[in-house]
Structure 1
Amino acid sequence: MLPTILDLASVRNAYKAGLSPLDLMEEIIERCKASDDPAVFITLTSPEALRQAARDLLAKAPEPNSLPLWGIPFAVKDNIDVAGLPTTAACPAFAYHPEVDATVIARLRAAGAIVIGKTNLDQFATGLNGTRSPHGAPRSVFDRAYVSGGSSSGSAVAVAAGLASFSLGTDTAGSGRVPAAFNNLVGIKPTPGLVPNVGVVPACRSVDVVTVFAATVGDGIAIRRIMEGYDGRDPFSREATPAALPSARPRVGVLESTEREFYGNGQVEALYDAAIDRARSLGAEIVPFDYAPFRQAAELLYSGPWVAERLAAVKDFLATNAGDFDPTVRTIIEGARGYDAVAAFEGKYRLEALRQKTKAEWQKVDFLMLPTSPTTYTVEEMQADPIVRNSHFGRYTNFANLLDCAAIAVPAGFDAKGHLPAGVMFVGPAFTDDALAPFADAMHRTLGDGMGKDRTATLPEASRVEPVPDDMLPIVVVGAHLTDMPLNHELTRVGGYKLKTCRTDNSYRLFALPDTVPPKPGLVREPHFSGAGVEVEVWALPAEAFARFVQKIPAPLGVGKIMLDDGDCITGFLCEAHAVVGARDITEFGGWRHFVLSHSSAI
């Protein structure tokens, strides 16, 4: 029996227990048929295509969970190309049929994930509310009178309603975060450039980001890691330079009273205050900061020349098909005609001046904790004043991409009547994407309000994000250094501790190396091999001990990056290929420990 919310751990456990991807696809087909919100999807993958995708997966990788996202169903915002499905950006006249996947889709499919359909959005990703589509307005999973948030409206509802394990959105002004808040989900917004935008219909090309909606922070981070990586075809793609944050007592920036604005919604303000108390209980130092320069930067996105980027994205289509635009979207995009090249440069100067002012605030804090949205509205209220009320949603989100930030949005609880949810988001400087995750995950776990529409669900331990202190480095161990194995003391005596037990991805083989004392295995990656992965452990070592430890590793063993089945890529033990020629292949045992227990006399 599958739970309502299809988080990664639940689906993997079901597969481990004997569920087939074909079975899950049938479940997805039935759930989509039974959905009470017909506006979630623009195009569903056909039932037969879903079944064929499951059969193809089984032919490619027959072992359950042998790929990082083996058989995991996901939905895709309909401004991201999926080969075989039209891309419409919620404008039927704009539709085209891509022949190749967007980069992010190709990477997720290679990891074993299955696309279930293309989701609804505010047309051309212009809006934060989810009502600007000819396909209707997806609704909050908690009250159909209320907006779902946008522009990634259908993507959020698909996960919150249990139709997909995760979904992709895009975020220019907050579209990957606001819908998460309105549907009790996690929203992962990467640093601009970390995840490539090749195959994505642009809104504002210079600041667009592909995002993830997921049930837990751990799920979302694992998916983001699979999608990320430089792609030279995207002019804004960048190589990541991960940034660290304090793990023991982080300085968390919160709004000063003069910068608080909830548009009369005292319920959301109370939930923000409660989140501050929870952050303090987790050991954070709460530091009020001046939001003014961030707010002023945020205003540039819609009240400055950046709106001209929206026109640049669709100018040729607008010239011939103006009547096919949603009226509000058309009003916003045509407003770009009021800006010229001089205004663009002046806007750039203004942004850089504000960036300098924010540096003083970043000196005070390690990251910010802000309301994801200060309020919400019914669909009727939004449609009565679509531009002003939409702008309320972006008060605390609009600056993040302009100022080159990473962000993670998490649930913050429900109003006093237990009716509607709100959220908070953690925002850090560029490439703090991983560093934000442990605290964001811990905050989510203190809440106890479930995942998506299932408020009784317990967040799985398998998705917990464990912090690694700044002075510790992770390493993957494979054999004699595993817990209770002969060399484990080399890790524990220098202050190392285990972070997790997991598996490599499916491209690794394990061999029993002859004539080693104590007996040791050799892990070798073969890119075209498709197995079930090898059980390993991830340990954290003090930086100095890590260096000494690595220096003493004997040939033919060495260290290199190891891909794990949850998407992590961590330094670990590898073996030179020549050393396994003629050695016994023990991959079938699933790991060194299982081999030792079953064949100790045969080593």
Structure 2
Amino acid sequence: METTVGSANWTKFPNCVYPPVEGLPGAPTPDTLEFKDPSLLRFDIAPDPETECHQAPIANAPVVMPVANSTALIVQLALDNGAVLIGKANLDQFATGLVGTRSSYGPVHNIFNENYISGGSSSGSAAAVGIGWASFSYGTDTAGSGRVPAGFNDIVGYKPTPGLISSNLTFPAVRSVDTNTIFTLNAADSKYVADIITMYDESDPYSKPIADNMTCTGIEAPLEFKFGVPREIVNPNLNLYMDKRLNDLWANDTGAKEQYLDAIERMKMIGGEMVLFDYKPWEDVAKLLYGGASVSQRFLTYGNYALDNRPTGAPITMNPDTDQLVDPTTYLILKNAFYNKATRAYADEWAINLI
């Protein structure tokens, strides 16, 4: 497996033994494979002299999980094909967030500007690839965690169809929609890794059999195509964009608004026909990611711990004697999920089906 070798900065676990580097030129610590999180073992890894440091608390909180006695399938498949494990990366607490700032280990900064967020929740996994510490890494995706940080750090985030890649021994967030993801510098590398780890796994109840015969043939892109623009931002004569709604859409971010309008014009220039659609239903459904009934699945996993350790206003760290253990925003998301009713689940399902 091709690797990008750099200088990994592993400081949280100073007693760990670095993996062997035979055959990897140049660096004392090879950069090949990064897994999501130093504190939340989203992927179980069986202990041995090389990975004893993976016995860590879960979810950026001092709740120690039993030491894994087996290794997640997608991790093992990568290792069997020549990958070298260099560590596990930071992430949003309980994998709940799209920002990369809700962590007991501190925020993960954007690789281009430390004043900008990295996106989350698989923030550290994306940053490790973007900065050149790893040639690929794993994350998970429930509400965008495998795509948002990829976009913010200018790399590729590959989210497969749920069930295509095994979630065996992956710590769940919303189990029914969770998907393991791959971060790489380009699409070709994502395909390379995906080809290795894509397989049916009988131990994963959500795994799906792979089609025996599926041939994909490339076609030339049509000279004309249609693209959608929210009806709410365009005035009736279709040549003037309404500033107020645009400002609302982009939270008064002038730069984002200008780039969006520029993208519309570029799409027209290459043959695109602008088609208007009602954005409101999509906006409402997007809010279900952290405000809908599915968040109750997060509560089943770690909600009681969050309620038992409600925020105190102190800094968020791993020290229960002096500091708070649960991020305030994460706490609010889980607390509200506790009160969801069964009727809410059906209402959310209908809203999704309507679009």
Contact map agreement 2:228 2:275 (CA 8 A) in 1: yes
Look up the SS of the partner of 2:334 in the other structure: helix
Structure 2: distance between partners of 1:328 and 1:100: 33
1:80 aligns to what? 43
Greater helix fraction, Structure 1 or Structure 2:
1
Query: Given the alignment of the two structures, is residue 339 of structure 1 paired with residue 340 of structure 2, yes or no?
Result: yes
One-letter identity of the residue aligned with 1:93: P
Match of 2:60 among 91, 97, 102: 91
- In structure 1, distance between residues paired with 2:275 and 2:298: 34
Structure 2 residue corresponding to 1:217, chosen from 187, 196, 213 = 187
C-alpha distance in structure 2 between counterparts of 1:252 and 1:186, whole Å: 25
CA change 1:344–1:73 in 2 (3 A) is same
Q: Give, in whole Å, the separation in 1 of the partners of 2:64 and 2:271.
A: 48
Contact 1:107 1:227 in 2 (8 A): yes
Deviation at 1:255, TM superposition (A): 2.7
Rounded to whole Å, the distance in 2 between the matches of 1:320 and 1:293 is: 36
* Alpha-carbon distance in structure 2 between the residues aligned to 1:237 and 1:129: 29
* Percent identical residues: 34
State the alpha-carbon separation in 1 of the partners of residues 62 and 291 from structure 2.
28
Question: How many correspondences in the alignment?
Answer: 308
Say whether 1:253 aligns with 2:230: no
Distance 1:238 1:335 in 2: 32
Contact 2:307/2:335 (CA < 8 Å) preserved in 1?
no
Counterpart of 2:275?
288
The answer to whether the 8 A contact 1:104-1:227 is kept is yes
Report the residue type matching 2:227 in the other structure: G
Report if aligned partners of 1:187, 1:212 keep a CA contact under 8 Å in 2: yes
Question: Cα distance, 1:43 vs. partner?
Answer: 5.0
How do 1:21-36 and structure 2 match up within 5 A? 24=5, 27-28=6-7, 31-32=8-9
1:484-508 Cα shifts (integer Å, max 9, x gaps)? xxxxxxxxxxxxxxxxxxxxxxxxx
SS of 2:9's equivalent in the other structure is helix
CA distance in 1, matches of 2:159, 2:13: 24
1:106 aligned residue (56, 69, 76):
76
CA distance in 2, matches of 1:126, 1:301: 10
Unaligned runs of 5+ in 2: 234-245, 311-323
Is the contact made by 1:140 and 1:157 (CA closer than 8 Å) also made in structure 2? yes
Distance 2:274 2:14 in 1: 46
1:418-456: CA deviations, max 9, x gaps?
Answer: xxxxxxxxxxxxxxxxxxxxxxxxxxxxxxxxxxxxxxx
2:202 maps to which of 232, 237, 250: 232
Does 2:268 correspond to 1:299?
Answer: no
Gap change, CA 1:289 and 1:170, over 3 Å in 2? farther
Aligned to 1:532: none
| Displacement after TM superposition at 1:351 (Å) | 2.5
Q: Distance in 2 between matches of 1:245 and 1:298?
A: 33
One-letter amino acid of the structure 2 residue matched with residue 249 of structure 1? A
The within-5 A match list for 1:339-488 is 339-352=340-353, 354=354, 357=355
RMSD after superposition: 3.1
Structure 1 position 321, deviation (Å): 5.1
Residue identity in the other structure for 2:283: R
Shift of 1:129: 0.5
Query: Aligned in 2, Cα 1:188/1:286: closer, same or farther, shift over 3 Å?
Result: farther
Mapped to 2, the partners of 1:80 and 1:221 lie a distance apart of: 21
The match for 1:193 among 144, 160, 163 is: 163
Q: CA deviation at 1:136?
A: 0.4
Task: Give the C-alpha shift of residue 246 in structure 1.
Answer: 7.1
Quick one: which of 41, 49, 53 aligns to 2:18? 49
What is residue 165 of structure 1 aligned with on the other side?
135
Secondary structure at the aligned position of 1:94 is classed as coil
* Partners of 2:260 and 2:215 in 1: CA distance: 27
**1:8-41 deviations in Å (ceiling 9; x for gaps):** 8674xxxxxxxxxxxx5xx53xx426xxxx7xxx
Q: Give the partner amino acid of 2:116.
A: Y
- Taking the aligned partners of 2:90 and 2:210, their CA distance within structure 1 comes to 31
Q: Secondary structure at the match of 1:117?
A: strand
Q: 1:276 to 1:81 in 2, by over 3 A?
A: farther
In structure 1, C-alpha distance between the alignment counterparts of 2:56 and 2:160, rounded to whole Å: 23
Structure 1 partner of 2:236: none
How many Å separate the matches in 2 of 1:342 and 1:178? 30
- How far does the alpha carbon of each residue in 1:192-234 deviate from its partner, in whole angstroms, 9 at most, with x for none? 2211211111111111111111111111222122222221222
Q: 1 or 2, which has the higher strand percentage?
A: 1
TM-score where L is the length of structure 1: 0.46
8 A Cα contact 2:104 2:325, kept in partner: no
Q: Secondary structure at the match of 2:346?
A: helix
Partner of residue 429, structure 1:
none
Alignment-derived partner of residue 330 in structure 2: 329
Establish whether residue 310 from structure 1 lines up as the match of residue 311 from structure 2: no
Give, in whole Å, the separation in 1 of the partners of 2:347 and 2:14. Answer: 44
Letter of the 1:301 counterpart: L
Q: For residues 114 and 209 of structure 1, do their structure 2 counterparts lie closer, same or farther at Cα, with a shift above 3 Å needed?
A: same
Cα distance between partner residues in 1 of 2:341 and 2:332: 17
- Gap change, CA 1:334 and 1:272, over 3 Å in 2: same
Cα distance change of structure 1 residues 159 and 347 upon mapping to structure 2, 3 Å threshold: same
Who wins on radius of gyration, i.e. which is larger?
1
SS in 2 for 1:343: helix
d(CA) in 2 for partners of 1:218, 1:9: 12
Give the secondary-structure state (helix, strand or coil) at the position aligned to 1:206: coil
Following the alignment from structure 2 to structure 1, what is the Cα–Cα distance between the partners of residues 260 and 299? 36
Q: Which amino acid aligns with 2:164?
A: L
Report deviation, 1:82.
2.7
The alignment partner of 1:124 has SS state of helix
* 1:300 partner amino acid: L
Q: Return the letter of the residue paired with 2:230.
A: E
CA distance in 1, matches of 2:227, 2:196: 30
1:142 counterpart residue number: 112
Taking the aligned partners of 2:83 and 2:271, their CA distance within structure 1 comes to 37
- Structure 1 position 243, deviation (Å): 9.0
SS at structure 1 position matched to 2:344: helix
> Secondary structure in 1 aligned to 2:338?
helix
Cα displacement (A) at 1:161: 1.3
Contiguous gaps of at least 5 residues in structure 1:
1-7, 12-23, 65-70, 358-603
Preserved CA contact (<8 Å) 2:291 2:333: no
